Chain A
Amino acid sequence: MSAQNSSPNLAALTERLNEGRSAHSKLEYLGRSKFGPALWIERFRLGNGLSVLYVEEHAAPTVAFHTWFRVGSRNEKPGKTGIAHLFEHLMFNETEGLAAGEFDRQLEELGAESNASTWLDWTHYDIAIPSSGFERVVELEAERMAHLVLREPQVASEKEVVMNERRYRVEDDVEGALNELLWATAFVEHPYRWPTIGWMSDIESFDVQDCQTFYRTFYAPNNATLVVVGDVAPERALRKLQDAYGTYQPAPIPPPPASVEPQQGAEKRLQVTKLTPTWKLNIGYHSPALGHPDHLPLSVLSEVLFGGRSSRLVKALVRDKELASDVRASLSPLSDPGLFEIFVSAREGVVAEQLLEVVDAELARVLVEPVTADELARATARIELSLLQGLSNNEGKASTIGFYEVVLGNPSASFERLAALPSIRPDDLLVVAKRYISASARTVILVQPQGDPDDDAGGDDVEVAA
Chain B
Amino acid sequence: MSAAGPVLLLERDAALPLVHGGVCTRSGSAEDPEDRLGLTRLCQRLMRRTAAGMAADEVDARIDRMGAALGLDIGHGSTALSGTVVERSFDEYMQLFEQVLTAPGFAEDELDRLKRETLAELTEILDSDQQLVQRWFLRSLLAGHPYGRTVVGTQKTLAAITLADVRECYRRHFTRDNLLFSFAGAVDAERAERAARAIWQALPAGGGAPAAPPEPEEQPGRRLVFVDKPERTQTQILIGGIGGHPSDPDYFPLMVANTVFGGTFTARLTQEVRAKRGWSYGAYSSIGYDRRRQAFSMWTFPKAEDAAACVALELQMLSDWWQGGITREELDWAKRYLTQSHAFSCDTAAKRVGLELDELTSDLPRGHYARFVAHIGDVTLEAANQAIQKRISLQNLTLVVVGTHAAIGDDLRRAIPDLAEERVVPFDTE
Contacts and interface: CB of A to CB of B under 8 A. Distances in A.
Contact of B266 (A61, A105, A156): A105
A392 B337 contact: no
A304 B66 CA distance: 15
A41 interface: no
Nearest to A111: B340
A322 B60 contact: no
A104 B65 contact: no
Contact of A108 (B56, B234, B264): B264
A392 B67 CA distance: 16
A73 to B, nearest CB: 18
A114 B266 CA distance: 12
A384 interface: yes
Contact of A109 (B64, B84, B337, B428): B337
B65 A325 contact: no
Contact of A164 (B13, B117, B234): B234
Contacts of B85: 385
Interface stretch (A219-227, A248-256, A373-381, A403-411): A373-381
Nearest to B267: A108
Contact of A348 (B18, B63, B120, B336): B120
B347 A393 contact: yes
Interface string B113-157: 100110011011011010000000000000000000000000000
Contacts of B350: 392
A157 interface: yes
Interface string A336-358: 00000000010110000000000
Interface stretch (B188-196, B216-224, B275-283, B360-368): B275-283
A160 B277 contact: yes
Interface stretch (A12-20, A181-189, A274-282): A274-282
Given A322-B113, A389-B18, A167 B230 contact: no
A161 to B, nearest CB: 5
A167 B303 contact: yes
B120 A156 contact: no
B348 A392 contact: yes
Contacts of B230: 275
Interface stretch (A139-147, A264-272, A307-315): A307-315
Contacts of A388: 16-18, 86
Interface string A110-154: 111110000000000000101001000000000000000000000
A70 interface: no
A161 B274 contact: yes
A384 B124 CA distance: 30
Interface residues of B, number: 63
Interface residues on chain A, size class: 35 or more
B284 interface: no
Contacts, number: 171
A179 to B, nearest CB: 13
Contacts of A60: 343, 347-348
Contacts of A111: 336-337, 339-344
A381 to B, nearest CB: 4
Contacts of B341: 108, 111-113, 130
Given A319-B57, A325-B121, A161 B278 contact: yes
B84 A389 contact: yes
Contacts of A348: 120, 123
Interface stretch (A75-83, A170-178, A360-368, A436-444): A170-178
B231 interface: yes
Given A108-B265, A160-B278, A128 B340 contact: no
A61 B373 CA distance: 15
Nearest to A172: B234
B67 A385 contact: yes
A101 interface: yes
Contacts of A322: 113, 116-117
B15 interface: yes
Given A108-B333, A171-B234, A385-B84, 10 more contacts: A60-B343, A104-B265, A108-B337, A109-B340, A172-B232, A278-B123, A319-B113, A382-B67, A384-B86, A389-B69
Closest 9 CB pairs of A and B: A111-B340, A160-B278, A325-B120, A381-B67, A310-B60, A60-B347, A111-B341, A378-B64, A167-B234
8 contacts: A100-B275, A157-B278, A161-B280, A161-B281, A167-B233, A308-B63, A374-B61, A374-B65
